[in-house]
Structure 1
Amino acid sequence: MAVDTLLRRITDHTNRADPYPLYAELREAGVVRQTDGSYLVGTYHDIVALLHDPRVSSDQRNRAAPYRGIAPEEGQQPPAFIRRDDPEHHRLRSMAMRPFGPPHSPHRIDAMRGEILRITEELIAPLKGRARIDIVDDFAYPLPVTVICRLLGVPREDEPVFREWSTTVIDSIDIGPGEDPGKRETVGEQARHEMGRYLVGLAEQRRGGSGDDMLSAFVNDPGPPGELTREELAATSALLLIAGHETTVNLITNGVLTLLRHPDQLDLLRREPALLPSAVEELLRYEPPVHMLPRTPLAPLDIAGTTIPQGAPLVLVLASGSRDPRRFRDPDRFHPARPDNQHLGFGSGIHSCYGAPLARIEAQIALGALASRLTTATLVEDPPPYRNSAILRGPRHLHVEW
């Protein structure tokens, strides 16, 4: 089959359960031009080089022509900082990071360990008497959205509506084969707007107060760059929920699936819980929550003997790079104690995942709490049903009997 159909085959839902043979084909072919005009890159070192290249843009507005490809075009709202380039990206990311992590708030995420553990136990407790559960709906989906609500300072009575908004937004980008995306995207855009308006209103209520949540910090401790505009505050706060939520759901769900497929490694983690941080890093390499990133060259680029024109859609297949045998020994083996594991699970360069520290802690606590309870668990269906998205790849349901 012609190599120029690779993206079509990768995004074909029938290959969602196991895209890795197609990634091997991509690495063998090198940089591959597709029939839709996009270029695929799947080797580790080329991906890293492009993620660190200032001539490669994250802003969809730099494309030579509209391109739906692997992701919908931006809506009417201003793009969040992950979809902008420096210097605007740096300004907005710095302002968003100030109340989130180092250097200004180095202890915020680590201080949430106790709260994350309590939320985890609250979600697991009602599952103990059931013979069958859905890891996604019963655990992996509600955990991160609850954590992010607590982080932002959303009142607990408002958390259910936040979950509804999150579900609507995620569904709007999880378009099925042959489905008209227009209606879902319109509904998703409306949910983003409502969420942003709510978060801005909540932040304004905290202005002048002494709250320790992130919304309070955004309006009361803006730092040297100045204060976020209402639109920037809405986009940044919504990004925390949407981007951080869906990726963590997939990380936890893919983690449970992988451990149940490797009972010897599950047993190892039960006996040696100190390996959990390393195991999470290996899961980010072996079964990552994000498989591809769209980019755009700001100038012609020569990659592996292929010239990619300025403005052409560029697709970096991170999950392929993280299984590149030229970078990782025995890459198709799940090895929780793998050394030198500089995977691409959170990207690399200036756009490396903003929420990575929080996702790591959530996954470590979640998988640690589940490990002892998965002793006799079995998968009801393997492979499980997957979401439509080839970018944010993960099971839609993961039914287990325990």
Structure 2
Amino acid sequence: MTITETPDILPRILDYSSRADPYPLYAELRRTPVALQEDGSYVISTYRELTDILHNPHLSSDVRNLSRPMPGVAERATPAFLNLDPPEHDRLRRLAMRHFGPPHTPGLVIGMEGDLTATVNGLIDEFEDKERIDIVDDFAYPFPVTVICHLLGVPREDEPRFHGWVNAIIDSINYNPRTDPEEKLTHGRQATQDLRDYLRGLLEQRHGRPGDDLLARLANDDGPDGRMTDEEIISTANLLLVAGHETTVNLITNGMLTLLRHPETLQRLREEPDLIVPLVEELLRYEPPVHIIPWRAAYSDITVADTVIPKGSQIMLMLASGSRDPDHFAEPERFDPDRKDNQHLGFGSGIHLCFGGPLARLETQIALNQLARRLDRPRLVADPPPYRPSPILRGPIHLPVEQS
């Protein structure tokens, strides 16, 4: 058994001072593919080891399998299927997918293309007389929250309420008991409860009233796996609102920042709009919205790269590091939309591959294509821009851009 400790690198990655460019630290971390931390947890940072463990049936996503509780997690209500293991995970994911994508609703996402384009262009229309815009506040935030709320059946006038709830929940996910005030955790718990109460109220209105929105479909459909309970529906809706919205905001913002840093690619996209499909895949590798899966647990002892991870240990998966592993990707530090066989980890891998990935891809493709086409000689105001606090869901909190 090989056990190597790298206790100094992870705190530097998590420190806010590294948020703008954590990639050199990831390169240091990859020297030890499986690194034991001072608290007894393990960090995995290389592509091969990440893909191996993400497909390992002994890896658990259920917090109840950790040998010691995590603050702010064990107390949460009915978990979404993202935080469950088979067979519970498989049943709930199948029930959700019946109404979100193939094979039962194969045209749902692509059928939204017209509405998505209209929403994007409506937002960009507001930029016409502005010399300076904030890609986050003026575009990347309102676009996906409008889409998710429409899918779920949330009234348009209630959309602004989600901003505060989502921010507080994301902050609580990053809670560090050694450095953060207790209020951060308390606010996150309250936001989680407020959001669940709101969704419960919407769901109660859907029972016995079939409709086209996702809440109505889940509340009234009996498929081969039966029907979700109300608490399971609420957890699934909560997952879509928080995880789906936040990752898409970051993907769009990271994408625009990358294009502005590579003006030759921005110009090429204007001339070749079909480039957008491989370009978004390269963004998912090069500047992904999710950098870290902060915890998984070992069902039993797991051997990874000659290291035995004991049963019940917390495991942290550094997805963004794996997607820049030079042992798997040629010239990984280069942004290359022509990259072939781009098997990145931008949406994870294995049974928990991102549920909303097809929608996030389409939203980002439409958003970046229209921004590239319609913005008039955009220029970054600050580089690097200010970043969100989170090292897990990483992206700029603001992206000010000037246009002629």
TM-score band (shorter)?
A: over 0.9
Residue 35 of structure 2 corresponds to residue 32 of structure 1: yes
Map 1:140-179 onto structure 2 (within 5 A): 140-173=140-173
| Counterparts in 2 of 1:129 and 1:173: CA distance versus 1, 3 Å | farther
Map 1:302-321 onto structure 2 (within 5 A): 302-321=303-322
Residue 283 of structure 2 corresponds to residue 283 of structure 1: yes
Corresponding residue for residue 345 of structure 2 = 344
Query: Secondary structure of the residue that 2:31 maps to in structure 1?
Result: helix
Look up the equivalent residue of 2:191 and give its one-letter code. Answer: A
Q: In the aligned structure 2, how far is the partner of 1:177 from the partner of 1:228?
A: 35
Corresponding residue for residue 383 of structure 1 = 384
Query: Secondary structure of the residue that 1:370 maps to in structure 2?
Result: helix
User: Would the aligned equivalents of 2:175 and 2:185 in 1 still touch at CA under 8 Å?
Assistant: no
| Counterparts in 2 of 1:263 and 1:178: CA distance versus 1, 3 Å | farther
TM-score by length of 1: 0.95
Alpha-carbon distance, 1:172 to partner: 3.8
User: Would the aligned equivalents of 1:6 and 1:34 in 2 still touch at CA under 8 Å?
Assistant: no
Q: In the aligned structure 1, how far is the partner of 2:343 from the partner of 2:258?
A: 20
Q: In the aligned structure 1, how far is the partner of 2:180 from the partner of 2:22?
A: 24
Corresponding residue for residue 297 of structure 2 = 296
State the superposition RMSD in angstroms: 1.8
Corresponding residue for residue 88 of structure 2 = 88
Q: In the aligned structure 2, how far is the partner of 1:267 from the partner of 1:250?
A: 22
User: Would the aligned equivalents of 2:285 and 2:345 in 1 still touch at CA under 8 Å?
Assistant: yes
User: Would the aligned equivalents of 2:291 and 2:320 in 1 still touch at CA under 8 Å?
Assistant: yes
User: Would the aligned equivalents of 2:33 and 2:49 in 1 still touch at CA under 8 Å?
Assistant: no
Alpha-carbon distance, 1:67 to partner: 4.0
| Counterparts in 2 of 1:207 and 1:122: CA distance versus 1, 3 Å | same
Look up the equivalent residue of 1:251 and give its one-letter code. Answer: L
Alpha-carbon distance, 1:202 to partner: 1.8
Corresponding residue for residue 240 of structure 1 = 240
Corresponding residue for residue 249 of structure 2 = 249
Corresponding residue for residue 191 of structure 1 = 191
Q: In the aligned structure 2, how far is the partner of 1:238 from the partner of 1:189?
A: 13
Look up the equivalent residue of 1:38 and give its one-letter code. Answer: S
Corresponding residue for residue 370 of structure 1 = 371
**How many corresponding residue pairs?**
398
Which one is further off, 96-105 or 277-286?
Answer: 96-105
Residue 32 of structure 2 corresponds to residue 20 of structure 1: no
Query: Secondary structure of the residue that 1:28 maps to in structure 2?
Result: coil
Q: In the aligned structure 2, how far is the partner of 1:117 from the partner of 1:379?
A: 24
Look up the equivalent residue of 1:304 and give its one-letter code. Answer: A
Q: In the aligned structure 2, how far is the partner of 1:342 from the partner of 1:376?
A: 33
Residue 44 of structure 2 corresponds to residue 41 of structure 1: yes
Query: Secondary structure of the residue that 1:29 maps to in structure 2?
Result: coil
| Counterparts in 2 of 1:401 and 1:178: CA distance versus 1, 3 Å | farther
Corresponding residue for residue 394 of structure 2 = 393
Gaps of 5+ in 2: none
User: Would the aligned equivalents of 2:174 and 2:390 in 1 still touch at CA under 8 Å?
Assistant: yes
Alpha-carbon distance, 1:175 to partner: 5.5
CA offsets 1:144-173 (integer angstroms, 9 cap, x no match): 111000111112222222344334433444
Corresponding residue for residue 101 of structure 1 = 101
Corresponding residue for residue 182 of structure 1 = 182
| Counterparts in 2 of 1:29 and 1:60: CA distance versus 1, 3 Å | same
Corresponding residue for residue 125 of structure 1 = 125
CA offsets 1:91-130 (integer angstroms, 9 cap, x no match): 1111111111111111111111111111111211112211
Q: In the aligned structure 2, how far is the partner of 1:245 from the partner of 1:181?
A: 26
CA offsets 1:284-343 (integer angstroms, 9 cap, x no match): 000000011121111112211211111111111110110111111111100112110010
TM-score by length of 2: 0.94
Q: In the aligned structure 1, how far is the partner of 2:74 from the partner of 2:394?
A: 20
Which one is further off, 128-137 or 374-383?
Answer: 374-383
| Counterparts in 2 of 1:126 and 1:176: CA distance versus 1, 3 Å | farther
CA offsets 1:19-42 (integer angstroms, 9 cap, x no match): 111111111222111112111111
Gaps of 5+ in 1: none
User: Would the aligned equivalents of 2:219 and 2:230 in 1 still touch at CA under 8 Å?
Assistant: no
Q: In the aligned structure 1, how far is the partner of 2:352 from the partner of 2:69?
A: 22
Q: In the aligned structure 1, how far is the partner of 2:128 from the partner of 2:171?
A: 29
Query: Secondary structure of the residue that 2:160 maps to in structure 1?
Result: helix
Corresponding residue for residue 201 of structure 2 = 201
Q: In the aligned structure 1, how far is the partner of 2:177 from the partner of 2:315?
A: 22
User: Would the aligned equivalents of 1:174 and 1:387 in 2 still touch at CA under 8 Å?
Assistant: no
Q: In the aligned structure 2, how far is the partner of 1:169 from the partner of 1:27?
A: 30
Corresponding residue for residue 65 of structure 2 = 62
Which one is further off, 354-363 or 95-104?
Answer: 95-104
